[in-house]
Structure 1
């Protein structure tokens, strides 16, 4: 059963009494909405959004509770309970608050018996002050999300380009089949006419053989072009999917849109080389993806630089008896406090220097890839622009040639009617005219495919 949206798009801009038409815009809408590659690209973006949420988890407040007790030989050595709430902050500072309840007969003299509470702060003064793993992970996750959005655009850009190449190949095969069919009908009518003329004694019997030979040629050609059209229709169906992720074959009765004025139609596209290159450098998804990747590596470089710094962490706890931490103003180191300083530094910094060097090399490597990709895009866009200009000129020349071939056919038919020509010459003229019409159709289809490929190469097809 056909998908309702698919049917609606087939019939867009046509009345129900007409043959259903598949327009390029409607076709791309179907591809964007239902094609598996388009859906996979969307999943990639959703995964990157989940990774942002995962990285934010590094800044979630943590509620913990530690309990321990020791009883031996009927004696209560100790019983300890310590609930705590710790709050990491963006700048590497960690706040904490908790309660300690300690009892028993065998205690460490440095511990306080009974219930105490505290408010604490821990600050890195060297390593991890300006960048740490939590901040780096979140920044990189956000950049990877932007990179995933660009990769989604790149996938759709390439998918649309391939889909439109199949679309215009299908258009070409449909139109060529119509051209051959028209010639086949003319050949059938001529065979009937010649047979009657032979029966009336107006033509020699050899003309029947000449007309029949031409009919057989067009009949075989029609069969070959019919196969090409059917195969093109099947190739186009590769890009047609339904909402339930099942493939949809293009119905045989659907026809492509008619383009009466090709040069007016392509006027809607930007074909200017300078303009396209400017847009490509600013917004091409592949270039943008490289730029976000480099920004992510720069975050990694900042993180690796921290490995070259000594670790100097300072912690301070304001202590109070009972369950309520005291917030009254008093000198920090006068009474009821606990502080700590931790210093750590590798003597050779071998790992830190290596990690930092690797981070810089990764940035250099991706910068070279970006420059190379930019050059490839420039060459590709320039080549397609040249091809478009050449095809436009070829089409104009071929249109004139087709008119000349058609005029020769009419002239030969007039001479034949006056007895000054032969069926052989008419057949030859008709074959040349048909080949010229087929060539013109191929050039037009190639022009449209090239224009879409040009837009894709500049990254503006999506």
Structure 2
């Protein structure tokens, strides 16, 4: 409840309609809102609840069962028979059923084998499978599969959240990149406008030729055009960002009311050493898709073991202790057991087991298919991990190179401005140097964004989002 209140308060800060005042939206806050209110995040939470209900359903297979059989026949005023047989069955582990019953059988025409003492006959005993169902039956298989399904539901829930978070993080990084470049070109346009106005004044005073005013106007227009492109991109990315934000009543956030700016320090952060120290085997072990496939194989193996039980004869032994009255445990001793008992043997089996053997072979085939699929997934995860690490290393080198290029371009611009003040340069050369600085700055932001996306993808592969 407290967390919901905090996140709701945070959402009110983000959805700011108070006179356009912007609030910084960090990535952690952004993902916290998504985790709490996004419909897909809530839907993923249903997997755990569904798994819990499936397990409860499987546990229900061991619920005690009450059966009552009663019948009475009266004809021409004579009571032929009147019997009542309540029975309780309690399933326990290993396929054993505990049974307790009471039989009352009266009438003038009762079959001799059904006759019981005047105060009834109580019995307590058990039914034990000796063939099919001895090691595994449908009740135990359902409970084992439900336990695996619970673990699989948690993995699938986290996997759905991670997929959602990865998409959201990529949009956040693209929004940050558009915001930074918009800031760069806002400053560039302001400088170009100031320079164009100064050039126009110098031309009017006769200190500059007309061609310089045209040069200044062209530079201003080109940078205004680039600024409009980034403003359009920023608006689109802001709309995409808002599409991941929902209110508590499941209504989407209005992008027009989203007044926020990104945490720009995120894209400049390098990957932590704990992430880079991992290898492709670590990625495979922690990957959720691999874990889900392994749990699927566990479920299929339970099914295989159940099918194996069907390739056995159905043999069961019924043993019961009999006692007059309603208390089956009265006057019990070793001599009493030998003289008051009921033992039964049930045997049933197909002569060829054709259907059962085919079902068992099919279950093994499903496991082989799942194992092949798992091997392919492991190889794919390892390949992606190695490729992303290689790309991360390459982009790091490109960043170092572009930083040096940017520094040199700024030095060239400063030198050109000094030469211009000394009368040895022109506005054309200054604009050219400035354009190189702007282009390398855009390239730097693009590389930072790509590197941040790779870091988040590596975290996604290792379930670290």
The interval holding the TM-score normalised by the smaller chain is over 0.9
In the alignment, is the contact (CA less than 8 A) between 2:242 and 2:258 conserved in 1? no
Matched, 1:330 2:341: no
Shift of 1:269: 5.5
Task: Give the gaps of 5 or more residues in structure 2.
Answer: none
8 Å CA contact 1:9, 1:27 repeated in 2: no
Q: Equivalent of 2:460, from 452, 456, 459?
A: 456
Q: Partner residue of 2:208?
A: 203
CA RMSD of aligned residues (A): 2.2
1:236 aligns with 2:241: yes
Q: 1:261 to 1:217 in 2, by over 3 A?
A: closer
**Correspondent of 1:134 among 130, 139, 149:** 139
Does 2:161 match 1:156?
yes
User: 164-173 or 35-44: which moved more?
Assistant: 35-44
8 Å contact kept, 1:10–1:22? no
- Which runs of 5 or more residues in structure 1 are unaligned? none
How many residue pairs match? The answer is 453
After TM superposition, the score normalised by the length of structure 1 is: 0.93
In structure 2, the partner of 1:391 is 395
Partner of 1:306 in structure 2?
309
Query: Residues 225 and 448 from structure 1, CA distance in 2 versus in 1: closer, same or farther, beyond 3 angstroms?
Result: same
Report how far residue 4 of structure 1 moved.
6.2
Structure 1 position 174 matched with structure 2 position 176 = no
In structure 2, distance between residues paired with 1:296 and 1:435: 56
Identify the match of residue 223 of structure 2 among 218, 225, 234: 218
Distance 2:11 2:282 in 1: 30
SS of residue paired to 2:111: coil
In the alignment, the residues of structure 2 paired with residue 383 and residue 25 of structure 1 have an alpha-carbon distance, to the nearest angstrom, of 27
Output the CA distance in 2 between the equivalents of 1:260 and 1:304: 54
Q: What displacement does 1:444 show? A: 0.6
Deviations 1:47-90, CA, capped at 9 Å, x for gaps: 01110010001111112222222233333222221111111111
Aligned-pair CA distance for 1:105: 2.2
The match for 2:198 among 176, 184, 193 is 193
The Cα shift of 1:428 comes to 2.1
In 1, Cα distance between the equivalents of 2:273 and 2:53? 37
Of stretches 94-103 and 107-116 in structure 1, the one that deviates more from structure 2 is 107-116
Task: Summarize the alignment of residues 14-25 of structure 1 with structure 2, pairs less than 5 Å apart.
Answer: 19-25=22-28
CA distance in 2, matches of 1:217, 1:315: 94
Residue 82 (structure 1) aligns with: 85
CA spacing shift, 1:331–1:227, aligned 2, 3 Å:
farther
How do residues 441-452 of structure 1 correspond to structure 2 at under 5 angstroms?
441-452=445-456
Residues 1:9 and 1:394: Cα distance change in structure 2 (over 3 Å): farther
* Normalised TM-score (structure 2): 0.92
SS at 1:102 equivalent:
strand
